[in-house]
Amino acid sequence: MGMIKKIQQLYVQMGEQLSRFLEPIALFFLRFMVAKVFLDSGLSKWDGFLQFNVDKYDLFKYEFFCPDPVREGALQLCNPQTLDYVDGSFLVKVIETLAVVAGVVEVLLPILLIIGLFSRFAALGLIGMTLFIQLAVFPTLDHWINPASWWAVSLLVIFARGPGFLSIDKLLGLDAKRASAK
């Protein structure tokens, strides 16, 4: 066996050993880091257990769906001339419901991701939320480059690779072993 072949074989073996050791740690920290962003946002929408912070309704109504100035390409749900809503309208009720749903989802899915339970489902849900935020709320390249792209890439890695060894999914047999290419 030639020297180049030995070096190649050693390099491949070293990479396999490092992957076996580092991948579970990397996936755990990746799950934690991206989950923390959404969890912090979700917790900010609550004043206590099952007590929604009603000030967040204005965030959804005026910052997200009726910004002044108008964000080009963003979903605008208010009257564009007055930049206001009709109080008590069906649209206001929908937006307030969306605020509460976002508050629940932004707490529940990150917790699932952190503990590694139904991790792929949680990652997929947060990918959907990331895409909605990017396409409907902040449709600019600046927002995509930072922070939305790193959220999306982190979540796609978790969705594709699974939560790793350090997860409840692995413990319960919910994350199938990947076939190794040998």
- What is the pLDDT, as a whole number, of residue 178? 52
Q: What are the structural domain ranges in the chain?
A: 30-172
> Which of 109, 104, 100, 98 lies closest to 155 in space, CA to CA?
109
Per-residue pLDDT of 7-54, as tens digits, reads 999 999 999 998 888 999 999 999 999 999 999 999 999 998 888 988
Query: What residues are paired with 48 via a beta bridge?
Result: 51
Per-residue pLDDT of 78-137, as tens digits, reads 887 888 888 888 988 888 898 999 999 999 999 999 999 999 999 999 999 999 989 888
Query: Which single residue is written with the structure tokens 């609550």?
Result: 46
CA gap 55, 86 in Å, rounded? 18
Q: Is the pTM of this model over 0.85?
A: no
CB 78 within 8 A of CB 61: yes
- What is the pLDDT, as a whole number, of residue 74? 85
CA gap 151, 31 in Å, rounded? 10
Q: Dihedral sign for Cα 128, 129, 130, 133, please.
A: positive
- What is the pLDDT, as a whole number, of residue 177? 62
CA gap 47, 155 in Å, rounded? 28
